[in-house]
Chain A
Amino acid sequence: MDIQNTQSQMRKGVLEFCILSIIQQGEVYPSDIVEKMKLANLHILEGTLYPLLTRLKNAGLLNYRWVESISGPPRKYFVMTDEGNAAYAVLLKTWNEMADAVQLITNNTNNINTLKADQAL
Chain B
Amino acid sequence: MKKVININFQGRILPIEEFAYEILKKYIDSLRDYFKNEEGCDEIINDIECRIAELCDDRLKKGAPCITEVDMNLIITSIGRPADFEAQDGFEASSSSNTYSTEDTMGGNYYDNEYSDKQQSKKLYRDEHNKVLGGVCSGIANYFNLDPLLVRILWIFLIGVNILGYLILWIAVPSTSVKEVGGVRKRLFRDIENKLIGGVSSGLAKYFSIQVWIVRILFLIPFIRFVVNFRHLHLWQFWDSPHFPNLLDITFSPGAVFVYIVLWLVLPEAKTSADKLEMVGEKVDLNSIKNTIQGDLEGFGTRAKSWGSAQRSARREARSARRDERSNRRNENMDENTTNNRSDNKGCFHFVGNIITILIKAFVYFILGIIIISVLAALFGLGVAGTSLLPLRKFILEDGVQNWYVIGAIILFIWVPVIGIVTAVVRKLAGFKKANLLIRSSFWALWILGWVCIFLFFSSLTKSFSKHNTPVEKTIALTNAKLNFLTVTSEPKMKYYEDHWFDLTPFEKYTDEDTFYVRNLRIRITQSKTDSFEVKIIKLSNGSTKEEANRLANNINFDITQKDSVLFLDRGIGINKGDKFRNQHVIMTIAVPIGKRIKISKKGWQQINMNVNGHGIRTERIGDIGFGNDSWDGEWNNSFDDESFSYNRGVEYLMTASGLEKIGRMDLDNEVGKDEDTSDIEQQLKDLKEERQKLEGDLKKSRSEKMKELEKIDRALEQKSNDQKDKKAVTNNTSVMPNLNNVSKVANKFGDLQWVMERFAY
A interface residues (Cβ-Cβ under 8 A, vs B): 7-8, 11-12, 15, 18, 30-31, 37, 41-48, 50-51, 53-55, 58, 71-73, 75-76
B:64-105 near A, CB below 8 Å = 78-82, 84-85, 88-96, 101
A8 CB contacts on chain B under 8 angstroms: 88-90
* Cα of A72 to Cα of B57 in the assembled complex, Å: 8
Within 8 Å by CB of B11, from A50, A51, A72, lies A72
Q: How large is the interface on B (under 10, 10 to 19, 20 to 34, 35 or more residues)?
A: 35 or more
B10 and chain A: residue at smallest CB distance: A73
* Cα of A42 to Cα of B85 in the assembled complex, Å: 15
* Cα of A95 to Cα of B84 in the assembled complex, Å: 27
B54 within 8 A of A: yes
In angstroms, how far is the closest chain A Cβ from the Cβ of B49? 10
B513 within 8 A of A: no
A11 CB contacts on chain B under 8 angstroms: 88, 90-93
In angstroms, how far is the closest chain B Cβ from the Cβ of A12? 5
Within 8 Å by CB of A71, from B10, B57, B85, lies B57
In angstroms, how far is the closest chain B Cβ from the Cβ of A32? 12
A71 and chain B: residue at smallest CB distance: B57
A13 and chain B: residue at smallest CB distance: B90
B92 CB contacts on chain A under 8 angstroms: 11, 42-44
Give 7 closest A-B pairs by Cβ, nearest first.
Answer: A45-B80, A44-B91, A47-B80, A73-B11, A46-B79, A54-B40, A50-B47
Name A's interface SS.
helix
B80 CB contacts on chain A under 8 angstroms: 45-48
Please determine whether B51 and A45 come into contact, CB atoms closer than 8 angstroms.
Answer: no
- Contacts A12-B89, A45-B78 aside, 9 further interface pairs with beta carbons under 8 A come to A11-B92, A15-B91, A42-B93, A44-B90, A45-B91, A50-B47, A54-B40, A72-B12, A73-B50
A18 and chain B: residue at smallest CB distance: B91
**A43 with B39, Cβ < 8 A, contacts A15-B90, A48-B89, A72-B57 known:** no
Please determine whether A30 and B47 come into contact, CB atoms closer than 8 angstroms.
Answer: yes
B97 and chain A: residue at smallest CB distance: A4
* Cα of A55 to Cα of B47 in the assembled complex, Å: 13
Which residue among A41, A44, A45 has the maximum number of chain B CB atoms within 10 Å of its CB?
A45
In angstroms, how far is the closest chain B Cβ from the Cβ of A79? 16
Please determine whether B96 and A51 come into contact, CB atoms closer than 8 angstroms.
Answer: no
B472 CB contacts on chain A under 8 angstroms: none
A72 CB contacts on chain B under 8 angstroms: 11-12, 53-54, 57
In angstroms, how far is the closest chain A Cβ from the Cβ of B193? 35
* Cα of A46 to Cα of B84 in the assembled complex, Å: 11
B82 and chain A: residue at smallest CB distance: A47
B:1-57 near A, CB below 8 Å = 10-12, 31, 35, 38-40, 43-44, 47-48, 50-51, 53-54, 57
Please determine whether A7 and B96 come into contact, CB atoms closer than 8 angstroms.
Answer: yes
B665 within 8 A of A: no
Which residue among A7, A8, A42, A54 has the maximum number of chain B CB atoms within 10 Å of its CB?
A54
B61 within 8 A of A: yes
B44 CB contacts on chain A under 8 angstroms: 50-51, 54
A44 and chain B: residue at smallest CB distance: B91
Please determine whether A47 and B31 come into contact, CB atoms closer than 8 angstroms.
Answer: yes
B78 CB contacts on chain A under 8 angstroms: 45-46
Please determine whether A76 and B50 come into contact, CB atoms closer than 8 angstroms.
Answer: yes
B95 CB contacts on chain A under 8 angstroms: 41
A55 CB contacts on chain B under 8 angstroms: 39-40
* Cα of A31 to Cα of B80 in the assembled complex, Å: 13
B:93-120 near A, CB below 8 Å = 93-96, 101
B45 and chain A: residue at smallest CB distance: A50
B:670-713 near A, CB below 8 Å = none
* Cα of A83 to Cα of B354 in the assembled complex, Å: 53
A43 CB contacts on chain B under 8 angstroms: 91-94, 101
Please determine whether A45 and B61 come into contact, CB atoms closer than 8 angstroms.
Answer: no
* Cα of A50 to Cα of B31 in the assembled complex, Å: 12
In angstroms, how far is the closest chain A Cβ from the Cβ of B88? 6
**A51 with B91, Cβ < 8 A, contacts A30-B51, A73-B10, A73-B11 known:** no
A31 and chain B: residue at smallest CB distance: B51
A45 CB contacts on chain B under 8 angstroms: 78-80, 84-85, 88, 91
A40 and chain B: residue at smallest CB distance: B93
* Cα of A30 to Cα of B95 in the assembled complex, Å: 23
B39 and chain A: residue at smallest CB distance: A58
Please determine whether A71 and B61 come into contact, CB atoms closer than 8 angstroms.
Answer: yes
In angstroms, how far is the closest chain A Cβ from the Cβ of B604? 94
Which residue among B43, B54, B90 has the maximum number of chain A CB atoms within 10 Å of its CB?
B90
B43 CB contacts on chain A under 8 angstroms: 54
* Cα of A110 to Cα of B366 in the assembled complex, Å: 84
Which residue among A30, A47, A76 has the maximum number of chain B CB atoms within 10 Å of its CB?
A47
Please determine whether A48 and B40 come into contact, CB atoms closer than 8 angstroms.
Answer: no
B10 CB contacts on chain A under 8 angstroms: 73
A47 and chain B: residue at smallest CB distance: B80
* Cα of A55 to Cα of B39 in the assembled complex, Å: 8
Within 8 Å by CB of A47, from B11, B61, B84, lies B84
* Cα of A72 to Cα of B53 in the assembled complex, Å: 9
B12 and chain A: residue at smallest CB distance: A72
* Cα of A42 to Cα of B88 in the assembled complex, Å: 13
In angstroms, how far is the closest chain B Cβ from the Cβ of A65? 14
Please determine whether B57 and A76 come into contact, CB atoms closer than 8 angstroms.
Answer: no
Which residue among B61, B89, B96 has the maximum number of chain A CB atoms within 10 Å of its CB?
B89
B54 CB contacts on chain A under 8 angstroms: 72, 75
Which residue among B12, B38, B88 has the maximum number of chain A CB atoms within 10 Å of its CB?
B88
* Cα of A46 to Cα of B75 in the assembled complex, Å: 10
A75 CB contacts on chain B under 8 angstroms: 50, 54
A41 and chain B: residue at smallest CB distance: B94
Which residue among B47, B48, B93 has the maximum number of chain A CB atoms within 10 Å of its CB?
B47
Within 8 Å by CB of A37, from B11, B38, B91, B96, lies B91
Within 8 Å by CB of B40, from A7, A41, A47, A58, lies A58
Please determine whether B57 and A12 come into contact, CB atoms closer than 8 angstroms.
Answer: no
Can you give 29 contacting A-B residue pairs, CB < 8 Å? A8-B90, A11-B90, A11-B91, A11-B92, A11-B93, A15-B90, A37-B91, A42-B91, A42-B94, A43-B91, A43-B101, A44-B90, A44-B91, A45-B91, A46-B80, A47-B48, A47-B84, A47-B85, A48-B85, A50-B44, A50-B48, A54-B39, A54-B47, A55-B40, A71-B57, A72-B12, A72-B57, A75-B54, A76-B50
Within 8 Å by CB of B12, from A46, A48, A53, A73, lies A73
Within 8 Å by CB of B90, from A41, A48, A73, lies A48
* Cα of A18 to Cα of B94 in the assembled complex, Å: 16
* Cα of A75 to Cα of B50 in the assembled complex, Å: 8
B39 CB contacts on chain A under 8 angstroms: 54-55, 58
B50 CB contacts on chain A under 8 angstroms: 73, 75-76
* Cα of A12 to Cα of B88 in the assembled complex, Å: 9
Within 8 Å by CB of A12, from B53, B82, B90, lies B90
B47 CB contacts on chain A under 8 angstroms: 30, 50, 53-54, 76
B35 and chain A: residue at smallest CB distance: A51
In angstroms, how far is the closest chain A Cβ from the Cβ of B304? 41
In angstroms, how far is the closest chain B Cβ from the Cβ of A76? 7
A54 CB contacts on chain B under 8 angstroms: 38-40, 43-44, 47
B81 and chain A: residue at smallest CB distance: A47
